[in-house]
Structure formats: structure tokens, C-alpha cells
Structure 1
Amino acid sequence: MSLTDLIPGRLGFGTAPLGNMFRAIPDDEARATVEAAWDHGISFYDSAPFYGAGLAEQRLGEVLAGKPRDSYVLSTKVGRVILDEHETSARDLGEKGGLFEHGNPNKIVHEWTAEATERSIEDSLKRLRTDRLDIVWVHDIAQDFLGDLWLQKFEEARTGAFRVLSRLRDEGVIKAWGLGVNRTEPIELALALDEPRPDGFLLAGRYTLLDHGHALQRLLPLAQEQGVGMVVGGPYSSGVLAGGTHFEYQQAPAEIIERVGRLKDLAAQHGVGIKAAALQFSLAHPAAVAVIPGATRPSRTAEDTAALDEHIPAAFWADLRAAGLVSPAAPLPHGA
């Protein structure tokens, strides 16, 4: 099924922060944040076992279990199986070390085989307290987590997770599947396959105001050619575009801070909110179906909803282009 037909609205809710990413979030604050998203009309929710070793799914499931199942679209991911036993040593997360150090202490097995995929889905259904998933993403088969092993793991996923998810889609158990990654190359490889064929992809952090040039070179033209949709994850570039200090899940380097400062200065000149500019830029590409910023405070959802509706003058986009702050190839809102 087309992601455009499946996903309601252009603003969804990403739950990585609910897995205690960067900080320990009280349960009542996490619950109130999801409830606020619901109250603001958001009906597309994305999670993953990896987020806090199951914590984000548990927290999301606690709230959504009280909502009519047909009133929202739910996606989660495969590639990580959460064990009952606890981790006793530091986790190896490639470039993302320490990302969920405040999450659940359970051991995580990184595996994309058919057996692991089926187990992951079964476990996610229990944590999410639901009887079905709408979209399943194959998670993080990319260089940032796997280094030189990523192509080997991609092949494991191609013969394992891809085929399982394709079968489940054909059987009507799920409605769509794709890749959920922070790099463009795995998606390009998947779109080049004769079979199995994904329905779309979740690209995190690679189509933002700060970082979009590489995606525009090959991936997005290929996606348009094949008619597959993109869900944009991490539209605030790990938070640095929304007042935070992280970029690519680490402390932002000086050159990124400087570029963000230039973006904010230009936005201020036009009376434009930087969140509004970030969300509306990410959604301006024809392949973009939805954007899923994360949140850990109830007020953030209200900000995101308002940012999506904020009027941004065409002059801002023109000045953004003239200043070299966006790629010449990037589509801008309203054809600016």
C-alpha cells in the first residue's frame, strides 16, 4: 500500500525520546506527552524495540491501548530482539554509544534474520498492547551502527527480514514495510532490488535544513521514479534545530552550531520560527509523506502542530536559497 494512502496527516509522532534518549524521563511525563499528541490530532505513531530496549514501545502502548485501534496508524521496527536478561557491560552501538543509557537494562540482540524478525514483531505487539502493526521498518542496517559489517548485515536482512515482511504484507498481516535508517545507501540498495520491494522508507536526519544534499543526489530521484514515499525522521537534526545541543545524536560541533546560528538569524529577520522552517522544508519534497519529530514534554507537540501551520513568506525561502543555506536542488514550499 502507498504510504500516502496509509498515513493520516503530515505530522506524526516519533518515540525515540520516550526510550530515555539523552535523559531519564519520568513515566508520567512520557504518558502526558503521548496524550498531548493524541489531543492535538496526531494519529501516526512510530516506535522501535531499540528505543530504550523496549521502553518507548511500552510507554506508547500504555496510552494507545485506551484508544480505538482503527483511529491511528502504528509503525515499529525489526532488527533488534530484546531479551529478558540484563546487560552487564557497555553496549556496542557504533557511532551512537550511550544513546539510550537511561533506558531499560535488558540485553539487545542485533539480528535481521527471518526468525529474529518474527520474534521481534511478536514481542513488539506485546509491548505495544495491540493486535496488529500497520508498517514495519527494517532498522539501522547501515554504516553508522554496523561499520564495515553493514553490507553483510544488509544481505542478512534481504534474505531474512525483507522476505518475512513482504510475505506478511502480501498476507494482509501488515499494510506496508520499508527501511528505517540514518543513511541513504541502504535504501538505494533496497530500491534497486527486483524482489522483495519495499513500500517506502523512514529516513532519519538526512532530509533536514542542516543535512539534505546527499539524499537529493540519488535516493530521492530514485524514490520519485519508483513512486515510494519517505517518512522524515529527526527533522530537527537530533534537536540542534529546536534549541538543543545534539547533532547526529552527539554534541553538535562548532561548524554545525555556526550554521544553525545563520539559519536562526535569517528566520528571525523574517519573523519565522526555526521549527516551522525545519518541518515545512522537510515536507516540501514530493517524496515526503510525513514528518515525525520526537518529544518528551507535552508542550512540544503543540509547538510542532503550530509550526506546521505557521505562515512562512516566500521571501524567507528565497533568501535561504540566496544565502546558500539550502541546496539548489531542494524543492521549497509553495514553489519558492
Structure 2
Amino acid sequence: MTTLAEILPDRIGFGTAPMGNMFRAVPDEEATATLDAAWDQGIRYYDTAPLYGAGLAEIRLGELLSSKPRDEYVLSTKVGRVILDEVDTGSGDLGEKGDLFAAGRPNKILHEWTADATERSIEGSLKRLGVDRLDIVWVHDVAQDFHGDQWLSKLEEARTGAFRVLARLRSEGVIKAWGLGVNRTEPIELTLALDEPKPDGFLLAGRYTLLDHEHALQRLLPMAQERGVGMVVGGPYSSGILAGGAHFEYQAAPPEIIERVKRIKEIADRSDVSLKAAAVQFSLAHPVSAAVIPGATRPDRIAEDLAALHEQIPAGFWHDLRAADLVSPQAPLPGGA
């Protein structure tokens, strides 16, 4: 089985959820400039999804990639949503994400993880992206945050539908890898426990960050390490609160999270460490982590993310965080601190 680390070109990629007008309507010229900056500064792994703005992120990413040699980058998208041509006259149901993509395209979205929907989802993504193949496909959001008490039935729908389609496509060499792309650990744990089909990795958003990692360390990451399965870390800035923003878990950050970030920042300031660097490097320190994919909507954020990856952080900073009970005793720290 090919590992994610062998497929991905670098330890940092670009997450395109913001390109789908997440939180706000991003002007086309701003989106284009940001994607151009990512490419020009060496980013060669791009992750997207039909959900992001009802196809808008894929369309914008496709405009960048249309002029690039296909062998020079790695591309992942997701299945579970089929974007229809008709306009959605309702409010749409995005679970805990609410109206996150309210400024996206108005197209109706079919939420389905069957074999047929998986094929249709891939076909739609290839068309919007303007490419002839995908490298990695994630099964998107078969978890509690979207489906509440019905999430296990959605996971079963994916097991008998999307999982089997993607395992077949991998065996045929059409894609290189597949796995789950979720915001919760439990669906991945259940999938890793299956005899067949076996995923190559997973994209875990928001659950292995400087602010929220304890739960992932308890069961999921030991299972993944034992099975040789890699993780792409989505949302390393916890929806923006670790990058100077005001959101956590796609909502306005609650007081206790604001206070925790304040405590982390106080220690970071004493050690002359940027919060972004601490966030990125913490998420990458676990042996299961293959890459981190922060998102951005402004060109200057790309340089910040790359600087965060390479910033020198003194071991004392990590020791101080641990002493202040701000990171789990079980969490591997950068540089073996």
C-alpha cells in the first residue's frame, strides 16, 4: 500500500475551503491572486471539495491548474456531495457548519454516499477542475457534526457505496489513495477497524490542533500508527482563532477558547514564537501526520504559512506549554522537545 507521505510532495499544502466563499464573499481577483501566490511560492498539494461553495472552490482551483503540467502537483477532492444544476431554494443543511458557505454558488447539493453518487461526484469534480484524474479522494463528512444520530447509517451507506468504488478505482490505478475527510475521530476509527476495504489515510479537520488534540490521541492516532495509515491535518488554525481570527469550529469563538488562545499567545510572545508557527509545527509533530493544509483568501497569508513551517521554535516554548497544561502529556512535540 502506498503511503500518504510517499504521495504528497511536501509537508504543507493548500486547503481551498476559503476559495468557496467560506465566511464571506471573496472577490474573484483576490481568490486568483491567492492561488497564484500559492503556486508561485512552491505549494504543490491542493485539497478541495464540491461542498466548498457548491463547486466554487473547485472551479477557482481549476482555473489555476489549467495552465500547469498535471504531473507537477498532487490533487485531492471529496465525495458525498453531488452539485446539481438547479438552484437551491431552501436554506441547505450543513449541520453544525450552518450557513458557512452562504456566499457560495446557489446550486442545490445532493448529500449522498452511494456508489452511483460517488461516481457522479467524481465526474462533476473532474469537470469543474478541468483535469483528467485525481490523486486522492476523501469520503466527506460522514460524521456526527452533519448527521447527528443518523451518522452511523450514513457511514454504512459510504461503506457499501463510496468505500467500494474508491477501493476499486485505487486497485485499477485510477486514483492513488482514498480515505475519510471528516471533523470527528469516530468515523475514522470505525473505518480503520474494518477488514475491507482499507483506506490509505484520512483528512482530519480541526481535531489535531494546538487547541484540540486530546481526543485524537486517545484512540485514533495509535490505531493509525499501528496500521501505517497517514493523516492530513485540515484546519490547523482551528477555523482561524490560532491565526488572529475570531472563529473556532466554524463559529464565533466562545470565551473559554479565547482565554486558552490568550494563554498560549502569552507564552509564545515570551519565547518570540509566532502563533501560526506553533500551530503548524505542533500538528506536524505526530508520526502519523503527513501534511498540513491551511487555507487562505489573501496572497500574503501563503508566505506566512510557509514561514510558520520553517520558523525555529526553542524547546523551552514547548516545555512551557506542557507545564501550563496547554498541550497533552501524550502529544509528541516538535524536535522531540
- Normalised by the size of structure 1, how large is the TM-score? 1.00
**SS state of the match for residue 203, structure 1?**
strand
* Whole-angstrom distance in 1 between the partners of 2:64 and 2:32: 7
1:7 is displaced (CA, Å) by 0.2
Could you tell me which amino acid in structure 2 is paired with residue 182 of structure 1? N
Residue pairs, 1:237-316, within 5 angstroms = 237-316=238-317
* Whole-angstrom distance in 1 between the partners of 2:172 and 2:291: 26
* Whole-angstrom distance in 1 between the partners of 2:244 and 2:256: 16
**SS state of the match for residue 172, structure 1?**
coil
1:222 is displaced (CA, Å) by 0.2
- CA deviation profile, 1:34-81 (whole Å, cap 9, x unmatched): 110011111000000000000000000000111110000000000000
* Whole-angstrom distance in 1 between the partners of 2:300 and 2:96: 30
Could you tell me which amino acid in structure 1 is paired with residue 280 of structure 2? L
Q: Quote the residue 2:218 is aligned against.
A: 217
Q: Quote the residue 1:34 is aligned against.
A: 35
* 4+ residue segments displaced more than 4 Å: none
Residue pairs, 1:1-336, within 5 angstroms = 1-336=2-337
**SS state of the match for residue 147, structure 1?**
helix
1:94 is displaced (CA, Å) by 1.3
**SS state of the match for residue 233, structure 2?**
strand
* Whole-angstrom distance in 1 between the partners of 2:308 and 2:95: 33
- CA deviation profile, 1:186-211 (whole Å, cap 9, x unmatched): 00000000000000000000000000
Would you say how many aligned residue pairs link Structure 1 and Structure 2? 336
* Whole-angstrom distance in 1 between the partners of 2:139 and 2:262: 35
- CA deviation profile, 1:298-328 (whole Å, cap 9, x unmatched): 0000000011000000000110110100000
**SS state of the match for residue 313, structure 2?**
coil
**SS state of the match for residue 329, structure 2?**
coil
Q: Where does the alignment leave 5 or more consecutive residues of structure 2 unmatched?
A: none
1:91 is displaced (CA, Å) by 1.0
Judge which range, 92-101 or 75-84, deviates more.
Answer: 92-101
Aligned CA RMSD, in angstroms, stands at 0.4
1:24 is displaced (CA, Å) by 0.2
**SS state of the match for residue 6, structure 2?**
helix
- CA deviation profile, 1:91-124 (whole Å, cap 9, x unmatched): 1111111010000000001000000000000000
**SS state of the match for residue 180, structure 2?**
strand
**SS state of the match for residue 265, structure 2?**
helix
Could you tell me which amino acid in structure 2 is paired with residue 229 of structure 1? G
Taking only the aligned residue pairs, the percentage that are identical comes to 77
**SS state of the match for residue 327, structure 2?**
coil
* Whole-angstrom distance in 1 between the partners of 2:288 and 2:4: 10
Q: Where does the alignment leave 5 or more consecutive residues of structure 1 unmatched?
A: none
**SS state of the match for residue 290, structure 2?**
strand
* Whole-angstrom distance in 2 between the partners of 1:333 and 1:225: 21
**SS state of the match for residue 207, structure 2?**
coil
- CA deviation profile, 1:257-285 (whole Å, cap 9, x unmatched): 00000011110000000000000000000
* Whole-angstrom distance in 2 between the partners of 1:26 and 1:135: 28
